[in-house]
Each structure stands twice: as C-alpha cells, then as structure tokens.
Structure 1
Amino acid sequence: MCTSNISETLHELSVSRYIEAPPARVWRVITEQLPQWWCPAPWRTEVNAIEWRPGGAFDTTMFGPDAEQIPCRGVFLDVMPGRRFVFTDAFDSQWNPQQAFMVGIFEIEAEGEGTRYRASARHWNPEDLQKHKEMGFTEGWTAVAAQLAALAEAETGKSS
C-alpha cells in the first residue's frame, strides 16, 4: 500500500510504500533499472546521462504515449549509496542555473524484512506545488512506487 502526504510549509508532496524486498535489492533496481520504473506506464524514460555522485549529472527524458517529451536536465545534490539520492532541476550538470521546478528526494530504509521507500518533491513556492498536484503527482508517483516494488519483488530468487 502506498500513502501520500502534503506539507504546505515545505511546499512538499510525498509518497511512501513498503516493498517486500531487502534494501540492497531495492537500491540495485533504483540505480540499475531506472528507465523501467521512473515514470508511470505507458510513459517511458530514456537516460541521457546519470552519474550517481553528488554533483553528477541527472539527465533523463520522459516520453508520453502521444509523442510528449519532458526533459529533466539536472544534477545530484546528494547520493548516499543504499540509502538515498537527491536531485534538482535548478542547475544542469555544468552548474548553470535554469528554471527550477523542484528538488526530488528518494530514500529507502530497512523495515521489518523489507524496505520503506519514500519519494518527495519540494517546490520553491505554493504555485509550483499546486501545479505538480494538478499534473497528477499522487497518481503518478504512486504508480512509479508500484513499478519499483514490482521489479524489486520479482527478484526474490536472486541474491541481494
């Protein structure tokens, strides 16, 4: 089950989901299979450049079923392997400022025999938060959490 939350003071939207797989497996899926879970089907993601380190490039493009294209040219602010990553679209990978929409925070931690996954989007202002809600944040990020869970849980026969 996935839960969602809104924090008006942080201009934050978030989802949380329990995944029936150990954190090491979830992290492996997060980092090695990002195109398979990053956006809700029938959308798809192409990775243009990803450097899993603070300051590294986070450059993807999402493609919609009606030929929509949404580029995300950003940078990692923090990467703690096996625990979390944080990125923003406020800068490109060369630290050039660009029109900012959000900071994405993705965290995992052991919970029982599985993993608690939390994903949040922090916005600079209430208007961007509202826009993200209207874009379908809750439905979309809940679907993404389910896709991530399905991939990690499908690997039950593999070692973590």
Structure 2
Amino acid sequence: MKNLEFDFSVDKSTKTVSIIREFDAELSLVWDAYTKQEILDQWWAPKPWESRTKVMNFEVGGRRFYAMVSPEGLERWSLQKYTSITLKTNFKVYNAFADKDENPELPGSEWDLSFSEQNGKTKVSVSIYNESLERLEKMIEMGFKEGFTMTMNYLEELLATLSRK
C-alpha cells in the first residue's frame, strides 16, 4: 500500500469530527464515488451492512434518502439534504438519522466535503459539525470512527477497480 494520508480527529469543544483521506485516484473518479448513487451504494456502509439509496438527487436543495441494511434486514435510515455544491471541489449536506418515512431525528449534523488533486492523488477533507454534543457522543459510541475507516478502505478498493476499467 502506498503512503496515503488518513487522519481522523474529534473535537468535543466544537462538536466536530475532522477526517482527511487521500486516495490513489483521479479527482473526477473520487467525486463520482461520492456523488453518484450507483457507486456510492457500493461502499457507503461498513460490511456486512449494505447501503441502499431510495432517493438521490445531487443538486442544491436535493436530497439522498438511504438505509444501511444489516444482513438480517435491519434498516438504519438517514436523510441528507444538499445545501451547497461547487462541482468537483466541495459539497455540503445536512445529515440526520430518520425513520423509514423520511421523518428526520433531530438534531442532525452538517457535513462539509472538500476535494483536491495533486500528482494523481485525491485528498478528501470532511468536517462534520454536530448540532449537539449528545449526537456527537452517540456517533462515537456507535463506532463511527471504525465504521468510517472501514468504508474508506472499501472506497479505496473500489477506486482501484474502477481505475483499471
């Protein structure tokens, strides 16, 4: 494995999680992996769970409504609303857990994702601001760091496969 940057930090005083992850792939491919449903569902869940998107329209004011589904069929729904998009550079979403009928469980979190490419490697910087410390602590308790690390590794494998096509 090449030396690719990965940093994960939690700041409870600002209720923020910061993640930096570098991928050995072109920016356009990494951008598509985050913004196209058919690619996103291939990696956006820690195995053995699967990501299943019910609705996704990647545009300002649009949304992604999806479930992480366990092998036993247990569904954990989330609703994301796209609040800002700068093509291939940055997008922001408001994220909340939800029920199967798209009713959000507030408070939620604001995700700010930035993309940059240098020497064929793409860096993704993610800042997740939680509206409450309780929500941040719940994320940590649920194994967010371990799950997110796992999904980043799946994305890396998927990007390697897609790069070869």
TM-score over 0.5 for the alignment? Answer: yes
The residue number in structure 1 matching 2:41 is 35
CA gap 1:131/1:75 in 2 versus in 1, 3 angstroms? same
CA distance in 1, matches of 2:106, 2:90: 24
Aligned-CA RMSD value: 2.3
Unaligned runs of 5+ in 2: none
Is the 2:18–2:126 contact (alpha carbons within 8 Å) kept by the matching residues of 1? Answer: yes
Moved more, 65-74 or 40-49: 65-74
Higher strand residue share: 2
Decide which of 125, 134, 137 is 2:144's aligned counterpart.
137
Amino acid at match of 2:129: R
1:99-118 correspondence runs (5 A): 99-118=106-125
Is the partner of 1:54 in helix, strand or coil? coil
Is the partner of 2:131 in helix, strand or coil? coil
Are 1:3 and 2:7 matched, yes or no? yes
Is the partner of 1:103 in helix, strand or coil? strand
CA gap 1:68/1:90 in 2 versus in 1, 3 angstroms? closer
CA gap 1:104/1:66 in 2 versus in 1, 3 angstroms? farther
Is the 1:15–1:142 contact (alpha carbons within 8 Å) kept by the matching residues of 2? Answer: no
The residue number in structure 2 matching 1:15 is 19
Identity %: 24
Is the 2:78–2:96 contact (alpha carbons within 8 Å) kept by the matching residues of 1? Answer: no
Moved more, 145-154 or 17-26: 145-154
Is the 2:50–2:69 contact (alpha carbons within 8 Å) kept by the matching residues of 1? Answer: yes
The residue number in structure 2 matching 1:63 is 69
Is the partner of 2:14 in helix, strand or coil? coil
Unaligned runs of 5+ in 1: none
Structure with higher RCO (Cα < 8 A, 6+ apart): 1
Amino acid at match of 1:22: E
Decide which of 36, 47, 58 is 1:52's aligned counterpart.
58
| 1:84-138: CA deviation from partner (whole Å, max 9, x where unpaired) | 222113599xxx8752332223222113321012233221122211111111111
Give the 4+ runs in structure 1 shifted more than 4 A. none
Is the 1:61–1:70 contact (alpha carbons within 8 Å) kept by the matching residues of 2? Answer: yes
- Post-superposition offset of 1:65: 2.5
Amino acid at match of 1:130: E
CA distance in 2, matches of 1:113, 1:12: 29
CA gap 1:19/1:91 in 2 versus in 1, 3 angstroms? closer
CA gap 1:39/1:107 in 2 versus in 1, 3 angstroms? farther
